[in-house]
Amino acid sequence: MVYTKQVMEHFTNPQNVGEIEDADGIGEVGNAKCGDIMKMYLKIENNIITDIKFKTFGCGAAIATSSVATEMIKGRTIDEALKLTNKEVIDELGGLPPAKIHCSVLAEEAVKSAIADYYRRNGIESDLLIGCDGCCEGCDHNDKELHRPL
Amino acid sequence: MMDKFVYADNAATTSVSPLVLEAMMPFFNEMYGNPSSLYSIGREASEAISKAREKIAALLGCKAREIYFTASGSEADNWAIKGAAHANIKKGKHIITTNFEHHAVSNTMKSLEKEGYEVTYLKVSSEGLLSSADVEAAIRNDTILICAMYANNEIGTILPIKEIAAAAKKHGVICFTDAVQAVGSIPINIADLGVDMLAFSGHKIHAPKGIGALYIKSGTRVQNLIDGGGQESGRRGGTENTAYIVGLAKALELAAERLPDMERIKNLRNRLIEGIKKIPYATINGSLDKRLPGNVNVTFDYIEGESLLLWLDMNGICASTGSACSSSSLEPSHVILALGVDSEKAHGSIRFTLGHDNTEADVDYILEKLGPIVEKLRAMSPLYERIM
Question: Tens digits of per-residue pLDDT, B341-363?
Answer: 998 889 999 999 999 999 999 99
Query: Are B189 and B160 contacting, i.e. CB atoms less than 8 angstroms apart?
Result: no
Distance between CA A22 and CA A45 in Å, rounded? Answer: 12
Distance between CA B279 and CA B274 in Å, rounded? Answer: 10
Q: Per-residue pLDDT for B295 more than 70?
A: yes
Query: Are B176 and B84 contacting, i.e. CB atoms less than 8 angstroms apart?
Result: yes
Per-residue confidence (pLDDT) for residue A35, from 0 to 100: 85
Q: What average pLDDT does the segment B184-194 reach?
A: 98
Q: Which of B306, B343, B384 is the closest to A33 by Cβ?
A: B343
- Alpha carbon of A33 to those of A138, B91, B326: distances in Å? 8, 43, 15
Interchain proximity B331–A138, CB inside 8 Å: yes
Q: What average pLDDT does the segment B270-299 reach?
A: 98
Return the H-helix or E-strand segment holding B94.
strand B94-98
C-alpha closest to that of B269 among B300, B294, B244: B294
Which residue did the predictor score with more confidence, B82 or B327? Answer: B82
Helix, strand or coil for residue B106? helix
Going across the sheet that includes B67-70, the strands are: B67-70, B212-216, B197-201, B174-178, B143-147, B94-98, B118-122
Per-residue confidence (pLDDT) for residue B140, from 0 to 100: 98
pLDDT band at A34 (very low <50, low <70, confident <90, very high): confident
Q: Which residues of B touch A54 (CB under 8 A)?
A: 380
DSSP B204-220: TTTSPSS-EEEEE-TT-
Interchain proximity A19–B332, CB inside 8 Å: no
According to DSSP, the residues that pair with B293 across neighbouring strands are none
Inform me whether the C-beta atom of residue A14 falls under 8 Å from chain B C-beta atoms: yes
pLDDT band at A147 (very low <50, low <70, confident <90, very high): very low
DSSP A100-114: GHHHHHHHHHHHHHH
Q: What average pLDDT does the segment B311-319 reach?
A: 97
pLDDT band at B330 (very low <50, low <70, confident <90, very high): low
Per-residue confidence (pLDDT) for residue B30, from 0 to 100: 96
Contacts of B85 (CB under 8 A, 6+ apart): B93, B95, B112, B115, B117, B144, B145
Per-residue confidence (pLDDT) for residue A129, from 0 to 100: 62
C-alpha closest to that of B320 among B2, B7, B5: B7
- Alpha carbon of B160 to those of B74, B157, B165, B167: distances in Å? 22, 10, 9, 11
Query: Are A111 and A74 contacting, i.e. CB atoms less than 8 angstroms apart?
Result: no
Interchain proximity A12–B307, CB inside 8 Å: no
Locate the chain A residue with the closest alpha carbon to B373: A12
Per-residue confidence (pLDDT) for residue B326, from 0 to 100: 56
Interchain proximity B302–A12, CB inside 8 Å: no
Distance between CA B346 and CA B129 in Å, rounded? Answer: 18
Query: Are B148 and B135 contacting, i.e. CB atoms less than 8 angstroms apart?
Result: yes
The yes/no answer on whether domain A5-128 falls in CATH 3.30.70.20 is: no
Inform me whether the C-beta atom of residue B387 falls under 8 Å from chain A C-beta atoms: no
Inform me whether the C-beta atom of residue B361 falls under 8 Å from chain A C-beta atoms: no
Reported pTM: 0.93
Q: What average pLDDT does the segment B222-245 reach?
A: 97
Q: What average pLDDT does the segment B91-109 reach?
A: 97
Per-residue confidence (pLDDT) for residue A150, from 0 to 100: 32
CA-based nearest distance A59→chain B, Å: 5
Q: Which of A8, A35, A37 is the closest to B323 by Cβ?
A: A35
Per-residue confidence (pLDDT) for residue B329, from 0 to 100: 62
C-alpha closest to that of A73 among A132, A140, A149, A15: A15
User: Torsions phi, psi of A147, nearest 5?
Assistant: -115, 10
User: Mind telling me the catalytic residues of A?
Assistant: 34, 103
pLDDT band at B2 (very low <50, low <70, confident <90, very high): low
- Exposed, middle or buried: residue B11 (CB in 10 Å: 0-12, 13-18, 19+)? buried
Q: Where are the beta strands (DSSP E) in A3-47?
A: 25-31, 36-45
Q: What average pLDDT does the segment B177-187 reach?
A: 98
Distance between CA B116 and CA A67 in Å, rounded? Answer: 50
Question: Tens digits of per-residue pLDDT, B4-53?
Answer: 999 999 999 999 999 999 999 999 999 999 999 999 999 999 999 999 99
Q: Per-residue pLDDT for A149 more than 80?
A: no
Interchain proximity A138–B303, CB inside 8 Å: no
pLDDT band at A141 (very low <50, low <70, confident <90, very high): very low
Lowest mean pLDDT among A75-84, A85-94, B335-344: B335-344
pLDDT band at A31 (very low <50, low <70, confident <90, very high): confident
Q: What average pLDDT does the segment B242-260 reach?
A: 98
Query: Are B128 and B339 contacting, i.e. CB atoms less than 8 angstroms apart?
Result: yes
Domains, chain B, in order of start with CATH, read 18-257 (3.40.640.10), 260-387 (3.90.1150.10)
Is the CA virtual torsion A78, A28, A131, B333 positive or negative? Answer: positive
Helix, strand or coil for residue B153? coil
> Which of B308, B347, B349, B386 should one mutate to test binding to chain A, selecting the residue with the greatest count of A CBs within 10 A?
B347
Question: Tens digits of per-residue pLDDT, B102-134?
Answer: 999 999 999 999 999 999 999 999 999 999 999
Q: Per-residue pLDDT for A142 more than 60?
A: no
DSSP-derived pairing of the beta strands B212-216 and B282-284: unpaired
- Whole-number average pLDDT of chain B: 96
Q: What average pLDDT does the segment A125-144 reach?
A: 53
Which residue did the predictor score with more confidence, B155 or A129? Answer: B155
pLDDT band at B184 (very low <50, low <70, confident <90, very high): very high
CA-based nearest distance B73→chain A, Å: 23
Per-residue confidence (pLDDT) for residue B385, from 0 to 100: 84
Per-residue confidence (pLDDT) for residue A96, from 0 to 100: 96
DSSP B173-192: -EEEEE-TTTBTTB---HHH
Q: Per-residue pLDDT for B191 more than 50?
A: yes
- Count how many residues are written for chain A: 150
Per-residue confidence (pLDDT) for residue A99, from 0 to 100: 87
pLDDT band at A144 (very low <50, low <70, confident <90, very high): very low
Q: What average pLDDT does the segment B236-251 reach?
A: 98
Per-residue confidence (pLDDT) for residue B324, from 0 to 100: 61
Going across the sheet that includes B320-321, the strands are: B282-284, B295-300, B349-353, B320-321
Chain centroid to Cα A81, Å, comes to 11
Helix, strand or coil for residue A5? helix
Chains A–B, number of C-beta pairs less than 8 Å apart = 84
Question: Tens digits of per-residue pLDDT, A103-122?
Answer: 999 999 999 999 999 999 99
Q: What average pLDDT does the segment A63-88 reach?
A: 97
Distance between CA B253 and CA B260 in Å, rounded? Answer: 13
